[in-house]
């Protein structure tokens, strides 16, 4: 009988012999001292018997808010964003909010109308790791916006939650230098993505090395990273003794390419990742990388949005990151 028309609150009222308003009060849990215990129970029973579910569209229209936030991410195939979502969803749930995930179709580019496609009616938007122009498209929605892992100097968003991306890159670079690698022997496998987070990494790396390292760019996929690494190895001169990668995925692809050229990790070439995804400990050797508190980012982002919605002054935050040393880095063979 799934074809039965859905009962409305009026149906419940009729069945319970009360008015719609009473139903609303009882089911909305605001009847303390306004409706008799017995009447309340009648209403609840009637609702249950009819299988009543409030019509969200009507409720949203009436209340003018939906208790729903949109989380815009560049891609869904990435553990980091899954963890951001988890953190955001947890906080949201604690406040009776829902989170709808919107993977920006163009990857990192301008989100093509998130408000049309993610058809939900929204109270606010959280956007993670988006390019600046994508931000513009989103900011246009007129909704409160919290940016995650994006340029804190950018205008528009009500609040920003950031990671100490540059600090992480400095830490890992110093770790490699500390192992005895010469600045001139270090190369950079960069993500071919035009966002703040990756600009930061390149900048911090160059700053810490005191020079701009040989760099190849690659999309965030194993095969691409492999090819990019091969381009790096094909350059004239001796191969680097250490390869600093913008992401664990790139690092894994790099390891494959190096191995394919008869180079051993970490004996011949040290490799570092960034993110500390599950992948980092799945491969051999395990990756030296930078751990990111992804769920804290999501949680803080949702908290900031909730604060904004409640007219509390939301501000910018920066979360620390942590160097994780594992087996993919070692002193250079010829110190």
- List interacting residues with DNA (CB under 7 A): 8-10, 17-25, 27-28, 30, 33-36, 38-39, 52, 54-55, 58-59, 61-64
Q: Which does 103 bind (CB under 5 to 8 A by kind): DNA, a copy of itself, none?
A: a copy of itself
52 or 198: CB nearest DNA = 52
**Strand ranges (E), 25-163:** 68-73, 98-103, 124-128, 145-148, 159-163
d(CA 256, CA 227): 10
Contacted entry of DNA, a copy of itself, none for residue 331, CB cut-off 5 to 8 Å set by kind: none
- Positive or negative, the Cα torsion across 136, 137, 141, 144? negative
DSSP output for 242-253? EEEESSHHHHHH
Q: Is 61 in the site for a copy of itself (CB under 8 A)?
A: yes
Q: How far apart are CA 140 and CA 48, in angstroms?
A: 42
Q: Decide the pairing of beta strands 159-163 and 317-319.
A: parallel
How far is the C-alpha of 290 from the C-alpha of 163, rounded, in Å?
Answer: 11
Q: Taking CB under 8 A as the rule, does residue 9 contact a copy of itself?
A: no
Site string for a copy of itself, 160-199 (x = CB under 8 A): ----------------------------------------
Residue 85's binding partner among a copy of itself, DNA, none (Cβ under 5 to 8 angstroms by kind) is a copy of itself
CB of 64 to a copy of itself, least distance (A): 8
39 contacts which partner out of a copy of itself, DNA, none, CB within 5 to 8 A by kind? Answer: DNA
Decide if residue 284 touches a copy of itself (CB under 8 A).
Answer: yes
Cβ nearer to a copy of itself, comparing 35 with 118? 118
**Applying CB under 8 A, which of residues 32, 38, 119, 334 lies at the interface with a copy of itself?**
119
Stretch that binds a copy of itself, among 40-48, 275-283, 291-299, 321-329 (CB under 8 A): 275-283
For residue 326, state whether it binds a copy of itself (rule: CB under 8 A): no
**Residues shown for the chain:** 335
Please answer whether residues 165 and 201 qualify as being in contact, where contact means their C-beta atoms are separated by less than 8 angstroms: yes
DSSP run (H or E) holding 318: strand 317-319
Query: Of 40-48, 82-90, 167-175, 190-198, which segment contacts a copy of itself by CB under 8 A?
Result: 82-90
d(CA 190, CA 246): 5
Give the H or E element holding residue 283: none
Contacts with a copy of itself, 127-156, as mask; x by CB under 8 A: -------------xxxxx------------
* Minimum separation from the CB atom of position 3 to DNA (A): 15
Report yes or no: 195 and 167 within 8 Å, Cβ to Cβ. no
How far is the C-alpha of 306 from the C-alpha of 216, rounded, in Å? 41
22 contact choice in a copy of itself, DNA, none (CB below 5 to 8 Å, kind-dependent)? DNA
Residue 317 bridge partners (DSSP): 161
Smaller CB distance to DNA: residue 144 or 332? Answer: 144
Tell me the three state secondary structure of residue 320.
coil
- In terms of DSSP bridges, do strands 322-324 and 289-291 run parallel, antiparallel, or are they unpaired? antiparallel
Other Cβ atoms closer than 10 A to 330: 21
Q: Give min distance, CB of 69 to DNA, in A.
A: 19
Q: Which helix (H) or strand (E) holds 76?
A: none
Bridge partners for 288 per DSSP:
272
**Taking CB under 8 A as the rule, does residue 281 contact a copy of itself?**
yes
Q: What does the binding site for a copy of itself look like in residue numbers (CB under 8 A)?
A: 2, 4, 6, 51, 53, 55-58, 60-61, 66-68, 76-77, 79, 82-83, 85, 89, 93, 97-98, 100-101, 103, 105, 115-121, 140-144, 221-223, 249, 252-253, 256, 259, 278-279, 281-284
């Amino acid at each position: 009988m799934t074809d039965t028309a859905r009962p409305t609150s009026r149906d419940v009222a009729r069945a319970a012999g009360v008015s719609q308003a009473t139903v609303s009060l009882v089911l909305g849990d605001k009847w303390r001292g306004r409706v008799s215990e017995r009447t309340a129970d009648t209403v609840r029973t009637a609702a249950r018997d009819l299988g009543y579910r409030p019509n969200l569209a009507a409720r949203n229209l009436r209340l003018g808010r939906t208790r729903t936030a949109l989380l815009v991410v560049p891609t869904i195939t990435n553990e980091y964003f899954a963890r951001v979502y988890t953190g955001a969803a947890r906080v949201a749930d604690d406040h009776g909010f829902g989170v709808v995930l919107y993977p920006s179709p163009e990857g990192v580019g301008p989100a093509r109308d998130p408000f049309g496609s993610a058809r939900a009616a929204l109270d606010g938007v959280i956007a993670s790791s988006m390019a600046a122009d994508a931000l513009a498209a989103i900011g246009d929605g007129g909704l409160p916006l919290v940016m995650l892992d994006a340029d804190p100097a950018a205008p528009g968003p009500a609040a920003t939650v950031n990671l100490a991306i540059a600090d992480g890159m400095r830490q890992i670079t110093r770790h490699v230098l500390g192992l005895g690698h010469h600045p001139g022997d270090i190369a950079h496998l960069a993500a071919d993505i035009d966002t703040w987070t990756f600009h930061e990494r390149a900048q911090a790396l160059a700053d810490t090395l005191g020079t701009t390292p040989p760099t190849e760019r690659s999309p965030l996929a194993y095969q691409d990273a492999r090819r990019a690494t091969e381009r790096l190895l094909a350059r004239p001169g001796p191969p680097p003794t250490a390869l600093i990668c913008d992401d664990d995925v790139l690092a894994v692809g790099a390891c494959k390419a190096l191995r394919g050229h008869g180079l051993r990790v970490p004996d011949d070439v040290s490799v570092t990742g960034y993110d500390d995804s599950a992948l980092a400990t799945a491969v051999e050797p395990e990756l030296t990388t930078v751990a990111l508190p992804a769920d804290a980012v999501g949680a803080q982002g949702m908290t900031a949005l909730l604060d904004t919605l409640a007219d509390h002054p939301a501000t910018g935050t920066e979360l620390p990151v942590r160097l994780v040393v594992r087996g993919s880095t070692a002193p250079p063979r010829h110190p």
